[in-house]
């Protein structure tokens, strides 16, 4: 019990003192996840809205596929990206394996289906209210999509926060493609796994506290945005 208490004490000291190693790991984690989220948003938001509004052959199959890929196993994503980026793979010439870029690619693949599926649901529900108005005013499809995305902005922010929370807590895929290299690709989740296996619980606990704080902040932001969305809807 004394060892555990000391580990918590040292973890608190690391947080209070602003330990450089701790800060480096947290900063890289946030940079990788924010980059992956930006890429996924650029791809997922328009595709999700398109699936909700447009009518074309194969739309149902694509919707089912997006929903199914929400549960994509992270290690499968990591393995796939590893094979693509390895020296023997088709993209090996880019030399991206064991770099933050490889981790961004893996996280983007992991959360893009989530953003597509959730965006499609949000926009489909909203489109059911406005579709008659759009048809009567002969609003072009791309204009309708932009209008719906703007009107659902609070719900869309909730979708993005859900993607962020999923990505920041990921360990399997980033471990495979990043290699958990110190000062290069070591992020919070991989550092926690490594330090725990070494028995160095202080840094692991400090990183766990930061990760928990981020998770609580994301959930709090989601709840706040949902409240703002409901208030706006009834205004």
pLDDT of residue 222: 73
d(CA 118, CA 92): 33
> What phi-psi label fits residue 187: left (phi over 0), alpha (psi between -120 and 50 degrees) or beta?
beta
CB 107 within 8 Å of CB 32: yes
The string of pLDDT tens digits covering residues 51-107 is: 998 888 988 999 999 999 998 899 999 999 999 999 988 999 999 999 999 999 999
Burial of 39 from C-beta contacts in 10 A (0-12 / 13-18 / 19+): middle
Burial of 135 from C-beta contacts in 10 A (0-12 / 13-18 / 19+): exposed
H/E stretch holding 173: helix 172-178
CB 161 within 8 Å of CB 229: no
Tens digits of pLDDT across the chain (235 residues): 446 677 777 788 888 887 888 889 999 999 999 999 999 999 999 999 999 988 889 889 999 999 999 988 999 999 999 999 999 889 999 999 999 999 999 999 999 999 999 999 999 988 888 888 888 887 887 888 888 888 888 889 889 988 998 899 889 899 999 999 988 999 999 999 888 888 878 888 888 888 888 888 887 877 777 676 666 655 5
pTM of the complete model: 0.88
CB 115 within 8 Å of CB 161: no
Residues 56/58/64/68 CA torsion (nearest 10 deg): -120
> What phi-psi label fits residue 73: left (phi over 0), alpha (psi between -120 and 50 degrees) or beta?
beta
The Cα-based distances of 165 to 34, 68, 170, 211 in angstroms read 11, 19, 9, 10
């Amino acid at each position: 019990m004394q060892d555990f208490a000391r580990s918590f004490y040292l973890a608190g000291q690391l947080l209070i003192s602003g330990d450089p190693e701790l800060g480096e790991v947290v900063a890289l984690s946030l940079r990788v996840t924010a980059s992956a989220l930006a890429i996924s948003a650029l791809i997922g938001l328009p595709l999700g809205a398109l699936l909700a509004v447009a009518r074309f052959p194969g739309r149902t199959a694509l919707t089912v596929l997006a929903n199914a890929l929400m549960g994509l196993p992270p290690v499968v994503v990591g393995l796939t990206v590893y094979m693509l980026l390895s020296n023997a793979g088709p993209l090996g010439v880019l030399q991206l394996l064991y770099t933050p870029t490889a981790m961004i690619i893996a996280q983007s693949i992991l959360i893009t289906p989530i953003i597509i599926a959730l965006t499609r649901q949000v926009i489909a529900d909203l489109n059911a209210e406005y579709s008659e108005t759009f048809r009567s005013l002969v609003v072009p499809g791309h204009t309708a999509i932009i209008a719906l995305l703007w009107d659902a902005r609070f719900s869309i922010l909730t979708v993005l926060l859900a993607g962020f929370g999923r990505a920041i807590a990921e360990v399997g895929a980033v471990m495979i493609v990043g290699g958990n290299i110190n000062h290069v690709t070591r992020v919070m989740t991989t550092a926690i796994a490594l330090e725990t296996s070494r028995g160095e619980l202080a840094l692991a606990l400090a990183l766990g506290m930061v990760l928990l704080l981020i998770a609580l902040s994301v959930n709090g932001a989601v709840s706040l945005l949902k409240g703002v969305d409901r208030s706006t809807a009834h205004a």
